[in-house]
């Protein structure tokens, strides 16, 4: 186990969630935008209307800065945050998908090179070569989505990989295609929002109306297709995820879907009313409000995906607290819960208190704090002011009267469909319950 990263107030997982939710805006814009750009540029050449090129210049500059400065930084931010929040989770992914990421980065480099060439050569080279550059970018960006979606989907449903350990068995799993198509449809929605905002700032009134409408149409079509693909995606969720959601084991999953659904409806209405019917209304002000709605909807939708795979961080393979859940013989990976139950959890930690005497209360509490941080801290806030599923309050609801009551609860942890079992021997369990009992808020 690596050192535990404690984020006061709202847990390390939420740090990743915030960065990742933001990152989706630039990354889906980056993948969706150029299909629209190429569409407008072709129109400009075909109908001989150079005035349309003003849009291309502005929109491409936005993508260049928003996606390739802010988007890249937040992408690196996800890597940093995920690496310290869940080092073993990231390691598990890298050990399987390092070549996936390597391939993705090749396409990133093509994207980066081609967007610079595209932006700086607009109007300076012959239209045909310039368009080629646009196509090159559009395809490279979408291919990077094709690759990364496989790794994301693997975390939600690891498929036959748990038996075979095969790269493609995990990659093309049951949620891969619906997720790829949903993201593809939604990239047109996100690209449409930004395109409408940029188009609304153009000088030429006629072009402004025309392009806001066109962006609106792309957005609406993307969103309508997105509805069908989302239904398919929800239908293909693993049985366990459906149980958490539909049997209300985790009621907040339903709430998240509601938030996502309402945001979806608002964005769709905005496209219809403010872009298609009255393009005048699609200015930066309403556009920025819609971006905020989009942000909330994305956060809820991705939060659903992350929540639905509990108790795992990688479906079937690794629990949210980074303990390996089962044998994966093809990869020579062994389940860790039986090992920790037998040999002790603390004794396998590199960073742990050096003296643990079960009769010494101070030492026991300190050891318990370490066990609880490792085994519960990825999902529960442990600090005094913690807001994210605070353990001190959740435990208080169970009204434990002694550390033994909590020991009993720890034994039952694996019966919850969304929590990993407690992993450790007598000493770990005793230390953890003494510590947990000491932090429960008593009313």
Binding mask 291-330 for ligand HEC (x = CB under 6 A): -------------------xx--------xx---------
Q: Is 189 in the site for ligand HEC (CB under 6 A)?
A: no
Nearest distance, CB of residue 407 and ligand HEC, angstroms: 11
- Using CB under 6 A, pick the residue from 394, 408, 411, 426 that binds ligand HEC: 394
Q: Which is nearer to ligand HEC, 129 or 402 (CB)?
A: 402
319 forms beta bridges with 312
Q: Which is nearer to ligand HEC, 130 or 309 (CB)?
A: 309
Find the binding residues for ligand HEC in span 419-438 (CB under 6 A): 419-420, 422, 436
Enumerate residues 6+ apart whose C-beta is below 8 A from 352. 346, 367, 370
Q: Which is nearer to ligand HEC, 202 or 382 (CB)?
A: 382
**Binding span for ligand HEC by CB under 6 A among 98-106, 116-124, 212-220, 375-383:** 375-383
**Closest alpha carbon to 395 in 383, 409, 385, 411:** 409
**Binding span for ligand HEC by CB under 6 A among 135-143, 234-242, 257-265, 414-422:** 414-422
Contact 27, 33 (CB under 8 A): no
Find the binding residues for ligand HEC in span 215-254 (CB under 6 A): 250, 252
Whole-angstrom Cα distance, residue 222 to residue 210?
18
Kindly tell me the burial class for residue 192, based on how many C-beta atoms sit within 10 Å of its own C-beta (0-12, 13-18, 19 or more). buried
Whole-angstrom Cα distance, residue 391 to residue 214?
50
Q: Which is nearer to ligand HEC, 73 or 394 (CB)?
A: 394
Nearest distance, CB of residue 336 and ligand HEC, angstroms: 14
Q: Is 395 in the site for ligand HEC (CB under 6 A)?
A: yes
Q: Which is nearer to ligand HEC, 203 or 342 (CB)?
A: 342
Whole-angstrom Cα distance, residue 376 to residue 386?
13
12 forms beta bridges with none
Position with the least CB separation from ligand HEC: 320
Q: Which is nearer to ligand HEC, 169 or 405 (CB)?
A: 405
**DSSP state letters, 224-252:** HHHHHHHHHHHHTS-HHHHHHHHT-SSHH
- What token pair was written down for 296? 């909330």
Binding mask 261-280 for ligand HEC (x = CB under 6 A): --------------------
Count of residues that bind ligand HEC according to CB under 6 A: 23
Contact 291, 28 (CB under 8 A): no
Whole-angstrom Cα distance, residue 387 to residue 393?
10
Kindly tell me the burial class for residue 263, based on how many C-beta atoms sit within 10 Å of its own C-beta (0-12, 13-18, 19 or more). buried
Whole-angstrom Cα distance, residue 290 to residue 416?
38
Whole-angstrom Cα distance, residue 201 to residue 209?
10
- Using CB under 6 A, pick the residue from 342, 355, 397, 442 that binds ligand HEC: 397
Q: Which is nearer to ligand HEC, 27 or 300 (CB)?
A: 300
Nearest distance, CB of residue 37 and ligand HEC, angstroms: 42
Which residues contact ligand HEC (rule: CB under 6 A)?
250, 252, 310-311, 320-321, 375-376, 378-380, 389, 391, 394-395, 397-398, 413, 418-420, 422, 436
């Amino acid at each position: 186990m690596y050192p535990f990263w404690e984020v006061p107030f709202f847990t390390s997982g939420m740090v990743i969630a915030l960065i990742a939710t933001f990152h989706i805006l630039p990354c889906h814009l980056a993948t969706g935008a150029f299909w629209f750009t190429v569409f407008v540029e072709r129109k400009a050449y075909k109908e001989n209307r150079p005035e349309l090129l003003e849009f291309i210049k502005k929109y491409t500059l936005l993508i260049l800065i928003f996606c390739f400065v802010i988007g890249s930084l937040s992408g690196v931010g996800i890597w940093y945050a995920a690496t310290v929040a869940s080092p073993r989770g990231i390691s598990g992914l890298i050990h399987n998908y390092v070549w996936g990421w390597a391939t993705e980065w090749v396409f990133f480099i093509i994207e980066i090179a081609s967007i610079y060439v595209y932006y700086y050569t607009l109007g300076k080279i012959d239209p045909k070569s310039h368009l080629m550059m646009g196509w090159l970018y559009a395809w490279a960006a979408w291919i990077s989505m094709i690759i990364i979606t496989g790794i994301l989907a693997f975390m939600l449903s690891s498929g036959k990989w748990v038996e075979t350990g095969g790269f493609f068995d995990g990659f093309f799993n049951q949620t891969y295609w619906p997720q790829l198509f949903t993201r593809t449809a939604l990239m047109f929605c996100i690209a449409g929002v930004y395109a409408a905002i940029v188009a609304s700032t153009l000088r030429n009134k006629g072009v402004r109306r025309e392009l806001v409408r066109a962006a609106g149409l792309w957005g609406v079509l993307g969103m309508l297709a997105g509805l069908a693909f989302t239904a398919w995606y929800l239908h293909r969720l693993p049985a366990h995820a459906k149980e958490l959601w539909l049997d209300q084991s985790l009621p907040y999953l339903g709430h998240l879907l509601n938030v996502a659904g309402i945001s979806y409806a608002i964005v769709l209405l905005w496209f219809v009313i403010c872009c298609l019917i009255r393009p005048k209304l699609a200015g930066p002000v309403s556009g920025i409000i819609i971006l905020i709605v989009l942000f909330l909807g994305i956060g809820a939708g991705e939060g659903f995906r992350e929540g639905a795979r509990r108790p795992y961080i990688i479906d079937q393979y690794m629990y949210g607290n980074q303990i390996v859940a089962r044998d994966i013989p093809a990869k020579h990976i062994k389940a860790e819960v039986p090992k920790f139950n037998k040999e002790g959890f603390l004794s396998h930690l590199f960073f742990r208190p050096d003296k643990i005497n079960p009769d010494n209360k101070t030492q026991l509490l300190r050891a318990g704090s370490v066990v609880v941080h490792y085994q519960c801290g990825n999902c529960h806030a442990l600090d005094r002011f913690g807001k994210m599923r605070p353990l001190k309050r959740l435990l208080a609801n169970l009204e434990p009267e002694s550390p033994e009551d909590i020991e009993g609860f720890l034994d039952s942890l694996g019966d919850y469909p969304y929590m990993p079992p407690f992993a450790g021997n007598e000493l770990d369990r005793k230390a953890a319950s003494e510590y947990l009992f000491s932090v429960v808020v008593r009313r």
